[in-house]
Structure 1
Amino acid sequence: MSFLLSRLRRTALAALAATLLAAPAPALAETSGDTLVVATMWEALPLSMKPRRSRFFNESEILDTLVKLDFEMNLIPGLATSWERPQPNTWRFALREGVTFHDGSPFDADAAKFSLERVIALLPYAADLLNITEIRAVSPQVLEIETSEPFAALPNQLTDAITGIYGKASFDAAGEFVSPVGTGPWKFADYRKQDRTIVERFDDYWGKAPSLKTIEYRYIPDHNARALALETGEVDFVVHLLPSDVARLSRDEAFKVHAEESAGVYYGAFNAGEKSVLSDARIRRAVNLLVDREIVVKGALDGIGNPAWTFFPAAFPWTNEDVTPHKVDPEAAAGLLRDAGYEKADGKWMKDGAPLTLRLLSYSSRAEMATITEALAILLQQQGIATEIQMFTWEGMLDLVKKGEYDVSVVFWTPEMTGHPDLHLKSQFHSRAGLNHQFWVNEEFDALVDKGRTLDPGPEALATYVRAQQILQEDAPIIPLVHKVYVAASRAGVEGFRVHPSGFFYNFKAVSKK
């Protein structure tokens, strides 16, 4: 244990020490009282719909969605005030009256129809998410959506950032995206490449107007520099903090640390295809039995996270105690490995004279990915499974994954984002899903998630998804590792911020500064 902890913390502690020695923090400078300056790890890129599926437009609330999620992940009205399903394949939405876009044009059913059709045309991912065959503007305040099959999950899917409602002025004459024009409390004002994105208060917002006038999103990709910017007064609010920074800022009364369970699971996706030894489910199950997630959380994240023994966390609405969690059981793992033809010699699992070796891939844009991947590797090595780690950009890792040139890819996913399991189970693990780069096929699982999306919430739907989750545990195409705890920090004078469990909604309209 001590070896693991010291090895994982070495890089973070060295960087922290260098920062503190080189630049002791002066007294806090002042930023404008009606402007909130936010340091982010990702560049907002407000002139494109495609990066990160345009989540910034939802995070910043430039755009509204028809349906929203409250802080308990319940569906609540957005631009739609109510919804019903008069026919199995038809949803009808009553739209909010008196809403205008940032350019002054009215929001109505025609505008909603135009936006959703543009999104589906420009972002292919949206087609499977929404399952739409036709959109009809029945009247100025009534929108009907026809789906290809009974689709109970549609209102939940309409909370996803990809479904934000764009005004027609967001697009040029050829229908290509230009810049975001929405109905939200903030309107896009300025973008300076590799520097900052600025949004301003929209005074004609349909809801309660924000108290702040401006939000400025500063792009600071370096993790240590981002925390230092808060300590020196350059910014008011910071997201994506290193565990060492969280501990230090928590001890300083000049700052507030905001930490809550939220959407997100770090997990290892197994290559179940023919190019990997993990095509054998016995080895996949054995790996799950050998990794102590408690150690991963403590060693890789200094305790900022929760051990993930299932894909969904316990608080997720569709989780059930009938889903059997993984556990640490080296003896059971050894039995599975022997059944798969391996024998342990000199502390290593061997077959035909070759050691069992797993190639672990991950990406470096999230600082925690390296330490989580290393923790997984060390724990497997301690149990006699050799590992090879390679870190890439996200795109570089994905290129290899799509080719099947890996054994485990350590990734991050946000499974609570819409409050419904369809988005996650079908888009990630269905054999025909575009995101299933694991080459995993389970016909029973496919049939269950295909059925689940047609069922209204109730006992049958719950039983269907519980069985699908159980198959995910038993056939083990993944190893869940850590459920995310969302952490941000602000100056002490920033008030009203609350972590949203979706992880993709700042709600700065409720924030003020002393």
Structure 2
Amino acid sequence: MTGRRQFLATLAAAGAATAAPRGWAQGTPAIVKPGGTLAVAIFADPLSFDPHIAANVQGRAACRAIHDALFTVDRQGRLAPGLVVSWTQPDNRTFVLKLREGVQFHDGTPFDAESVRYNLERIRSGKLGANAIRAGEIRALDTCTVVDAATVKFALRYPFAAFLFPLTDVAGCIGSPTAFEKWGLDYSLHPAGTGPFKLAEYMKDARTVLERNGAYWNAGKPHLDRVILRPIPTDSTRLAELRSGGVQIAEAMPLQDVHRLRDSKDIVLSERIGFRWEYFGFNLHDAYPGKSKPFRQAFQWAIDREALHQVAYFGTGAIGYDGILPGSPFADPGYAPFHRDLDRAKRLIDQSGLGRVSIQAPLQPDPVKQRAAQVFQANAAELGVSIAIQQVDSAGYAATLSAGTLPIDLQGWWGYRPDPDQYLAILLNSIGSYAKYNAYSNPAMDALIQGEESALTEADRRKDFRQVADLMNEDAVYVPWHYSSDFKGLSPAVRGFYHPQDGIIAFQDLTLQG
């Protein structure tokens, strides 16, 4: 193992070592009984089964059941083989990857080095709808060269310590080039990955049916015949379905009920802290009040983080002041640069010269975010700022965000990734998609992001990330306030469950007893 590769492994392992979840697993039985149908209550519809487009956690989860990624993350948080079985790093800008042989896509075509090259080029070019977030995740890639049918070489534009980590998620999920070319923008309805499950049925906002891939390369898996994903946005209904046996797993357990559910005898409650980072985001385009830096800074001091913690999250998770999730080797539990200071906030509003303003705030029907928005609305009113909350669906919200016309982002959050750069660069680097949406550009921030990406030691990256957090808070384009826990409820019949920090279940490992 090269020095850089050892650093990558150490970096990830350090993050996992402190993040053991509560109620995290029900062990795999000594004798695995195959078959059966697992029903899962999910919070929202997956929206897309194209991994290069999928935008929400539910879509990422479905895509990763249908498509294998080039790499995986093991239970210690280390980079591990997926469709790539081994890799070397001859220098700090080059990776040589050996691919798993004898693997087929669901359409019967072979997985090989050319399919890897095609997928990465599809992402980089935006071809057939691939989105800007995926392109941002592999922005350091200069060329992907086919060495032979089972070998590819990545040449990077600059040294990037954590480049391979995005390839454990949807950016690294590989679909059939033949299927991409055949279906074009309709690939989402006809996905052909190499994963343990195939898409058998999709009814928007009703159900997604995944069926076992009988030709899966990992012999003996998956154990289940099928998985049914049922979008149920109402907290009480998801819980009722779990209690009645209508589903065997329910995601996003109602936060107001988790303390009671920990003592339940008929539900196993699993918790993973550091699942996502919450923030309020501002649009810096000229048409919006967020253009004013003092205006944005006022909210760092005006928001009541303790009230948000208690009202929105019922005291679960943790208050947070930066984008470094708990469990990361770069996290600083003592970092707390703000306290509530309404007088200071009002002085900053006066300095902005904006006076009394009204801001439209589109918001999806997420009960947690609804509660948080109400606290934010009350805090803003104390500054003479009126927040008008508008209910929108997920698609409408995403379209407004990507068009750069979201006046203020009360929905803001980013799910766990193995390395903080995977989301901070997208949010803060001027070439990142979210930074572009919000018109945020600061050359000093760009230099810090480039510095942490090319740093050779964990200590240097830790120093860079702390400076990133400080400058992010100074510029106040995002106002951080919370790190949330992921709560899943399981039937005692579920076996083989492990709760990863990103919350995405490996369905291929699960069995049902009884």
- Range class of TM-score, shorter chain: 0.7 to 0.9
Q: What corresponds to 2:42 in structure 1?
A: 40
**Superposition pairs of residues 177-216 of structure 1, within 5 angstroms:** 177=187, 179-207=190-218, 209-216=221-228
Separation in 2, partners of 1:81, 1:389: 52
Instruction: Tell me how far 1:172 sits from its aligned partner.
Output: 4.4
Is 1:143 the counterpart of 2:152 in the alignment? yes
Q: Which moved more, 1:259-268 or 1:408-417?
A: 408-417
Q: What amino acid is aligned across from residue 185 of structure 1 in structure 2?
A: P
In structure 2, relative to structure 1, the CA distance for the partners of 1:407 and 1:93 (3 Å cut) is same
Please show how residues 201-280 of structure 1 align to structure 2 within 5 Å: 201-207=212-218, 209-246=221-258, 249-280=261-292
Equivalent of 1:114 in 115, 118, 137:
118
SS of 1:261's partner is: strand
Which residue matches 2:98?
Answer: 94
Q: Which residue of 1 aligns with 2:430?
A: 431
- Deviation, 1:404, is 6.9
**CA distance, structure 1, for counterparts of residue 204 and residue 405 of structure 2:** 35
Report SS of the residue matched to 1:300: helix
Q: Note if contact 1:360-1:410 (Cα within 8 Å) is conserved in structure 2.
A: no
2:190, 2:432 → 1: CA distance?
30
Cα contact 2:345–2:383 (8 A) shared by 1: no
Task: Output the amino acid matched with 2:69.
Answer: T
The separation in 2 between residues aligned to 1:327 and 1:358, in whole angstroms, is: 25
For 1:44, give the aligned amino acid. Answer: P
1:102 corresponds to which letter in structure 2?
Answer: H
Q: Secondary structure at the match of 2:499?
A: coil
User: Of the candidates 43, 51, 55, which is equivalent to residue 52 of structure 1?
Assistant: 55
Structure 2 match to 1:294: 306
For residue 472 of structure 1, report the CA deviation from its aligned partner. 0.7
What's the secondary structure of 1:99's corresponding residue?
Answer: coil
> Corresponding residue for 2:375?
375
User: d(CA) in 1 for partners of 2:120 and 2:350?
Assistant: 53
Which residue is equivalent to 2:26? none
Deviates more, 1:101-110 or 1:289-298: 101-110
Residues 171, 96 of structure 1: CA spacing in aligned structure 2 closer, same or farther, 3 A cutoff?
same
After TM superposition, give the deviation of residue 293 of structure 1 in Å: 1.4
Please report how far the alpha carbon of residue 329 of structure 1 lies from its aligned counterpart in structure 2 after TM superposition. Answer: 3.4
The answer (yes or no) to whether the contact 1:359–1:406 under 8 Å persists in 2 is no
CA contact (8 A) 1:46 1:179 kept: no
RMSD of aligned C-alpha atoms?
Answer: 3.1
Give secondary structure in 1 for the equivalent of 2:272.
Answer: strand
Tell me, yes or no, if structure 1 residue 467 matches structure 2 residue 471.
no
Q: Aligned partners of 1:40, 1:321: CA distance in 2, in Å?
A: 31
Please tell me whether residue 65 in structure 1 is matched to residue 58 in structure 2.
no
Tell me which residue corresponds to 2:510. 511
Q: Is the 8 A contact 1:318 1:420 kept in 2?
A: no
SS in 2 for 1:313: coil
Please list the CA deviations of residues 453-500 of structure 1 after superposition, one character each: whole Å capped at 9, or x if unmatched: 333443333333321221012222111122121112122222332221
C-alpha separation between the residues in 2 aligned to 1:328 and 1:46?
41
What is the SS of the residue equivalent to 2:489? Answer: strand
Q: 2:137 aligns with which of 125, 129, 144?
A: 129
Q: Following TM superposition, by how much is the alpha carbon of 1:429 offset from its aligned partner in structure 2, in angstroms?
A: 2.1
Once the two structures are TM-superposed, the CA of residue 377 in structure 1 deviates from its matched residue by: 1.7
Post-superposition shift, 1:164?
0.3
Are 2:321 and 1:317 equivalent residues in the alignment?
no
CA contact (8 A) 2:349 2:383 kept: no
- 8 Å CA contact 1:267, 1:478 repeated in 2: yes
Give 1:257 deviation, angstroms: 1.8
Cα separation, 1, equivalents of 2:271 and 2:243: 18
SS at match of 1:453: helix
**1:271–1:406 contact (8 Å) kept in structure 2:** yes
| Residue 62 to residue 262, structure 1, CA distance change in 2 (3 Å) | farther
Residue 66 of structure 1 deviates from its aligned partner by 0.9
The answer as to whether partners of 1:305 and 1:483 remain within 8 angstroms in 2 is yes
Distance change in 2, residues 1:323/1:141 (3 Å): farther
1:65 and 1:163 in contact (8 A); partners too: yes
**1:372-399 Cα shifts (integer Å, max 9, x gaps):** 1101222343x44443231232454566
- Quote the residue 2:15 is aligned against: none
Maintained 8 Å contact 2:183/2:190: no
Q: Distance in 1 between matches of 2:162 and 2:94?
A: 12
TM-score under structure 1 length normalisation: 0.81
Q: Are the counterparts in 2 of residues 275 and 404 from structure 1 also a CA contact under 8 Å?
A: no
Quickly say closer, same or farther: Cα 1:471–1:358, change in 2 above 3 A.
farther
How much has 1:38 moved relative to structure 2?
0.8
Alignment deviations for residues 260-286 of structure 1 (CA, whole Å, 9 cap, x no partner): 114312211023344444433333333
Report the AA paired with residue 364 of structure 1: Q
Instruction: Classify 1:385/1:256 alpha carbon distance in 2 versus 1 (closer, same or farther; 3 Å).
Output: farther
Distance in 2 between residues matched to 1:43 and 1:462, nearest whole Å = 37
2-structure distance, mates of 1:161, 1:114? 15
The letter for the 1-side match of 2:506 is: N
Kept in 1, the 8 Å contact 2:68–2:194? The answer is: yes
Partner of 2:391: 392
Does structure 1 residue 422 correspond to structure 2 residue 421?
Answer: yes
CA distance in 2, matches of 1:262, 1:502: 8
User: How far 1:444 sits from its partner (Å)?
Assistant: 0.5
Measure, in 1, the Cα distance between the counterparts of 2:40 and 2:161: 37
More off after superposition, 40-49 vs 92-101: 40-49
SS at 1:467's partner residue?
helix
CA deviation after TM superposition for structure 1 residue 60, in Å: 4.8
**Take 1:39 and 1:416, find their aligned partners in 2: how far apart are those partners?**
21
Report the CA distance between 1:337 and its aligned residue.
4.8
How far is the alpha carbon of 1:406 from its aligned partner? Answer: 6.4
Q: Counterpart of 1:26?
A: none
Three-state SS of the structure 2 residue aligned to 1:411 is coil
Distance change (3 Å), C-alpha of 1:66 and 1:48: closer
How far residue 103 of structure 1 moved from its aligned partner, in angstroms, is 4.3
> Counterpart of 1:364?
364
Q: 1:295 to 1:363 in 2, by over 3 A?
A: same
Q: Take 2:403 and 2:112, find their aligned partners in 1: how far apart are those partners?
A: 45
In 2, distance between residues paired with 1:325 and 1:379? 19
| 1:410 equivalenced with 2:443 (yes/no) | no
The answer as to whether partners of 1:55 and 1:161 remain within 8 angstroms in 2 is: no
Task: Report the secondary structure of 2:449's partner residue.
Answer: helix
Percent identical: 24
